[in-house]
Homo-oligomer: A and B are copies of this chain.
Amino acid sequence: MAGTDTTAQVGRPREFDHEAVLDTVVDLFWDRGFGATSMGDIVARTGLSKSSLYGAFGSKDALFETALDRYLADHRRTIDEILTNGSKGLDDIDVFFSGVEEQAGLTERRGCLAVNTATERRTTEPALVQMSARHRDAMRDGFTAALTRAVDLGVVDADQIDDLSNLLVTTALGLAVMIGGGAPTDEVLAHLASARASLRSGRGSAE
């Protein structure tokens, strides 16, 4: 309505960086989940006071939703960079999954914030269901784009695009839940390797 980013600026200015705090909050929820993270934890980690937190974000639910939104936007940016705007077809998909590989290798394996919390809060927060659905769509679109390039390169049959896109989405979710559930690194890597192998195998054209 009124100025989009002039923000009138009257009264005492905010002392904290809105985005940085949100990053910290994402981190916290990502580590422990929604239920196991208390507002007290958030106060402690961000260094802010409750009133600042509630003044800026409204409620724990709203804060979580804002944080998740930020997380998903980041993730979607990655999808666009690698899958949508890539140039190498199947190799782009490999690059995308190397992000998963990285997650699997960390000592603190957290998986995906959206996956971890989607099941936990499904019943209480219908907005989350929508956000997850939109995110799956984004992933699927990304895979479809990369596979379309692969078709142009003659590595994939055109009529397999839809099935493969779906399968890749399912695979990404499966790997995420494995990592988020604490599966050992080599088990995750083995599953990832199998997924990559079966993506390359059984195509119409030669390798």
A167 touches B171 (CB 8 A): yes
Given contacts A119-B181, A136-B183, A174-B177, contact A198 B129 (CB under 8 A): no
Asked whether any CB of chain B lies closer than 8 Å to the CB of A118, the reply is yes
Q: Chain A: how many interface residues by the 8 Å CB criterion?
A: 56
Q: Which of A5-13, A28-36, A74-82, A87-95 contacts B (4 or more CB under 8 A)?
A: A28-36
B166 touches A170 (CB 8 A): no
| Contact digits for A163-176, partner B, Cβ 8 Å, 1 yes 0 no | 11111011111111
Asked whether any CB of chain B lies closer than 8 Å to the CB of A116, the reply is yes
| B-facing residues in A98-150 (Cβ within 8 Å) | 111, 115-124, 126, 128-129, 132-133, 136
Asked whether any CB of chain B lies closer than 8 Å to the CB of A182, the reply is yes
B173 touches A124 (CB 8 A): no
| Contact digits for A21-41, partner B, Cβ 8 Å, 1 yes 0 no | 000000000011111100000
Residues on B with beta carbons closer than 8 Å to the beta carbon of A47: none
> 7 A-B contacts, Cβ less than 8 Å apart?
A33-B120, A118-B180, A129-B183, A136-B178, A136-B187, A160-B198, A167-B195
